[in-house]
Structure 1
Amino acid sequence: MIRIALADDHAIIRDGIRALLMGETDLQVAAEASNGRQLLELLAGNPVDVVLLDINMPEMDGHETIRQLQQHHPGVRVLVLSMLSHEEYVNRMLEAGALGYVLKNVSKAEILFAIRSVAAGRRFLCTELGVDLLHKLRGRGERQSAGEEKKSPALSRRETEVLKLIGEGFTTGEIAEKLFTSKRTIETHRQNIIEKTQVRNTAALIRYAVTQGLL
């Protein structure tokens, strides 16, 4: 049974999700909150597996809530459920620790799949956001081939391995285990990659890996 907490300041949204999940034998709404602060109070005595989290909420917004969850409830997986589709919001929430991001206009089938995917520890991006990202990457690739081609920085074999694993969604600790080295070494590789590619964050690193054919 996947225990779910709903955090959204609109009761009608919470009611709609609860109704949508009714009849799903492996899913249970175990807690509801109207903001991040209330959610954290509820989780203190009511553990859950997945939090469906809105971004814009009073008292404590979604970004700060994820930060607090990472600190106090690291085992809880977060699926952002929002109307905000801009790449900046998506990047910010995923970098904060969310495992998935879906828009509130997705179908029942997609949100159910998203919840189960995140509960299983898999990253998830809804179809609309994924298609938008692919279009942007394709457009950048076409501009590059039309005369804006940039010479790719030379990454070492190990840096390339680390970049691929980052792109596949592995954490620093998981990458260290896979490559039989320390977290500090992986962080050093990550910093070197960022400096060589001149990107700003993990999401940009993943885009770079895709455009270079590494993923």
Structure 2
Amino acid sequence: MGGGKISADRVAAQRRYAGAGESQENVMTIRVLLADDHSVLRDGLAALLAAQGGMTVVAHAQDGLEAVRKVPEFKPDVAIMDIVMPELDGIEATRLLQRSSPQTQVVILSMYSTIEHIFRALHAGAKGYLLKESAGAELVAAIRSVHGGRRYLSQKITETVVDDYIREHHSTDPLGTLSNRERQILQLVAEGKSTADIAQALFLSPKTVDTYRSRLMQKLGIDNLTGLVKFAIACGLTPP
């Protein structure tokens, strides 16, 4: 050390080892690193976590590069990572940490809730994602979840992911091009119902049922009844 001052981060890291023999030493403590370029936010989060049982902040970082350098030294269980930071953004820092220190789980704490930011973070290896506007008790829950081997997405982030999935799935779902009536008739055809049976069940004329069936084949690019049945089975409208 050369007589130099011990860094505040190192002092914080050593606190859990101070007072040997105390009962606290037998309690599992979640070690946390906070990475954000706003010191006021870091201090606020540190105060929040200090009030919780079973977790301690062992290091602070003001940018992604500093976080990547400090993780091997302080060995946090969980890193709380902002996205927009100087030197190295939080997503790239997360990607590097997953390669060099995969034992450290990353939770993104950001003001961005776009699907692009969320997916980039998750693909980089983040196990949690929540918004700064909802930080607080939710951050504590996120830390405990990812430390326990589970993912954690805040309510708003979950809604964004689900909405995007539904939108994407609908755009690629062949059934999405069909009307409710067309899906009804497709299912009945696949179940082996005759034109007369379908007409009676749906209170339609046989001619109307035939028209619907022809429209189905045209929309789906299928030119025979067998193909229509196979399509319905593949889509889960009827068991094979």
Q: TM-score, normalised by structure 2?
A: 0.57
- Rounded Cα–Cα distance in structure 1 between residues aligned with 2:42 and 2:167: 37
1:6–1:47 distance in 2 versus 1, CA, 3 Å: same
- Rounded Cα–Cα distance in structure 1 between residues aligned with 2:163 and 2:114: 14
The equivalences for 1:3-42 within 5 A come to: 3-42=31-70
Q: 2:140 — aligned with what?
A: 112
1:66–1:133 distance in 2 versus 1, CA, 3 Å: closer
Match among 86, 109, 113 for residue 81 of structure 1: 109
CA contact 2:80–2:109 (8 Å) conserved in 1: yes
Q: 1:6 aligns to what SS in structure 2?
A: strand
Q: 1:178 — aligned with what?
A: none
> Is 1:123 aligned to residue 128 of structure 2?
no
> Is 1:65 aligned to residue 93 of structure 2?
yes
Q: 2:177 — aligned with what?
A: 147
Residue 96 of structure 1: how far off its partner (Å):
0.7
Match among 68, 73, 76 for residue 48 of structure 1: 76
1:134–1:148 distance in 2 versus 1, CA, 3 Å: farther
Q: 1:44 aligns to what SS in structure 2?
A: helix
Question: How many pairs does the alignment contain?
Answer: 151
Gaps of 5+ in 2: 1-28, 180-235
> Bigger shift: 39-48 or 65-74?
39-48
> Is 1:90 aligned to residue 118 of structure 2?
yes
- Rounded Cα–Cα distance in structure 1 between residues aligned with 2:133 and 2:104: 24
> Bigger shift: 105-114 or 45-54?
105-114
- Rounded Cα–Cα distance in structure 2 between residues aligned with 1:49 and 1:135: 31
Deviations 1:129-184 (A, max 9, x none): 112333444556777666369xxxxxxxxxxxxxxxxxxxxxxxxxxxxxxxxxxx
- Identify which of structures 1 and 2 has the higher relative contact order when contacts are C-alpha pairs closer than 8 Å and 6+ apart: 1
Gaps of 5+ in 1: 150-211
- Rounded Cα–Cα distance in structure 1 between residues aligned with 2:87 and 2:135: 30
One-letter amino acid matched to 1:122: R
User: Computing the radius of gyration over CA atoms, which structure comes out larger, 1 or 2?
Assistant: 2
- Rounded Cα–Cα distance in structure 1 between residues aligned with 2:73 and 2:169: 50
Residue 90 of structure 1: how far off its partner (Å):
0.4
- Rounded Cα–Cα distance in structure 1 between residues aligned with 2:91 and 2:115: 15
Q: 1:9 aligns to what SS in structure 2?
A: coil
Q: CA RMSD in A?
A: 2.4
One-letter amino acid matched to 1:65: A
Residue 41 of structure 1: how far off its partner (Å):
2.2
1:133–1:66 distance in 2 versus 1, CA, 3 Å: closer
- Rounded Cα–Cα distance in structure 2 between residues aligned with 1:50 and 1:7: 11
Q: 1:91 aligns to what SS in structure 2?
A: helix
Q: Percent identity?
A: 38
Deviations 1:93-144 (A, max 9, x none): 1001111111101152221111100111111111111123334445567776
Q: 1:20 aligns to what SS in structure 2?
A: helix
Q: TM-score, normalised by structure 1?
A: 0.63
- Rounded Cα–Cα distance in structure 1 between residues aligned with 2:43 and 2:75: 21
